[in-house]
Amino acid sequence: MTSTDVKSAVRADSGLLDVRGVQKTYYGSGRTVEAVRDLTFSVGTGELACIVGPSGAGKTTLLKCIAGLLPPTGGEVRLGGARVQGPPPGMAVVFQEYGRSLFPWMTVADNIALPLKQKRTPKPRRAALVAEALESVGLRDVPHAYPWQLSGGMQQRVAIARAIAYEPDVLLMDEPFAAVDAQTRAELEDLTRSLWRNLGMTVLFVTHDIDEAVYLGQRVLVLSGSPTVVMEDVAVDLPAEREQLSTRALPRFAELRAHVYEQVQRAKTFHTAPAAGASA
């Protein structure tokens, strides 16, 4: 299949993501880890799904398989009907290792502009997108700094800015707000939702913060501990208009939150041999 074929197929139904029986085992020097055992779910075009699960469950692995960066050992990922075999067009990823995903040899602005250049975004539009993205993550002042001159949280926000400036059809985010302060986090959450609603992207959002998952998502997928399966798929039936204080104050929010929390707690001991039970 040529790349134009893929492209047009994706355009047709560019966001429909289908994860079918994905299985991933890492074979390393003497260490074999079955990170993901059997994951099957799908995310419709324009949906915003959050993924929670214990540390080491395989969330990052799953995201990489979806992004076409890692070939699954079994099963397949389909995006817009086509099988994902390499990074599909129109997809942006915010990596958990944000620090290493920024190019240290480029300034912040260049880091954000480069993917746009790759997309052949015209120059004036590019400059506007970069400035806008930086503005929206609260980094208006640093376009000419290098990533290593920034604090952890600022680096992470640069990575986010790069992804949103790209205006992707599908956005994968791996714990994107882990290093920012509470208030910035809230702002970024709202930013994510508004971008999602305005641009109609499909968003897959990995987080450890259960409140965040419930607040952001239309659905929350709860993964079990490693080897990973989908433990539960919680539909978040909160109103579409969300607001930090009022939404979080809703009784339904508290219910959902409690439910997901319970599930996550169960997730760690989901498999008969509860390997990772911290004992302290």
Q: Which residues bind ligand ATP (CB under 6 A)?
A: 26, 28, 33, 35, 53, 55-61, 96, 149-154, 179, 226, 278
Give whichever of 8 and 265 is closer to a copy of itself, judged by the CB atom. Answer: 265
**Residue 129 near residue 116 (C-beta atoms within 8 A):** yes
Q: x/- string (CB under 8 A) for another protein, residues 63-102?
A: -x--xxxxx-xxxx---------xx-x-xxx-x-x--xx-
Q: How far is the CB of 237 from another protein (least distance, A)?
A: 29
The token duo for 119 is 């997309």
**Residue 99 near residue 152 (C-beta atoms within 8 A):** yes
Distance (Å) of CA 69 to CA 66, 76, 232: 8, 13, 26
Q: Is 188 near a copy of itself (CB under 8 A)?
A: yes
Q: Is 111 near a copy of itself (CB under 8 A)?
A: no
Kindly state the DSSP code that residue 148 receives in the 8-state scheme: G
Give whichever of 37 and 242 is closer to ligand ATP, judged by the CB atom. Answer: 37
**Residue 276 near residue 54 (C-beta atoms within 8 A):** yes
Q: How far is the CB of 137 from a copy of itself (least distance, A)?
A: 7
Distance (Å) of CA 224 to CA 80, 207, 272: 27, 14, 12
Q: How many residues bind another protein (CB under 8 A)?
A: 47
Q: x/- string (CB under 5 A) for Mg ion, residues 36-75?
A: ------------------------x---------------
Give whichever of 233 and 243 is closer to another protein, judged by the CB atom. Answer: 233
Distance (Å) of CA 246 to CA 43, 198, 213, 242, 243: 27, 22, 16, 8, 6
Contacting residue, 179, 221, 234, 236, with a copy of itself by CB under 8 A? 179
**180 Cα distance to chain centroid:** 16
C-alpha count within 13 angstroms, C-beta hemisphere, residue 165: 32
**Residue 22 near residue 39 (C-beta atoms within 8 A):** yes
Among a copy of itself, ligand ATP, Mg ion, none, residue 251 binds (CB under 5-8 Å by kind): none
Among Mg ion, another protein, ligand ATP, none, residue 269 binds (CB under 5-8 Å by kind): none
- CA–CA dist 267, 15 (Å, integer): 28
- CA–CA dist 147, 99 (Å, integer): 8
The token duo for 217 is 């998502």
- CA–CA dist 110, 160 (Å, integer): 14
Q: How far is the CB of 144 from ligand ATP (least distance, A)?
A: 12
Angle between helix 152-165 and 108-118 (nearest 10): 20
Binding site for another protein (CB under 8 A): 20-21, 23-29, 34, 37-38, 64, 67-71, 73-76, 86-87, 89, 91-93, 95, 97, 100-101, 103-106, 114-115, 117-119, 146, 148-149, 162, 166, 229
Binding site for a copy of itself (CB under 8 A): 26, 28-31, 33, 52-60, 96-97, 99-100, 135-142, 144-146, 149-154, 157, 175, 178-185, 187-188, 190-191, 194, 208-210, 261, 264-265, 268, 275-280
Binding site for Mg ion (CB under 5 A): 60, 96, 151-152
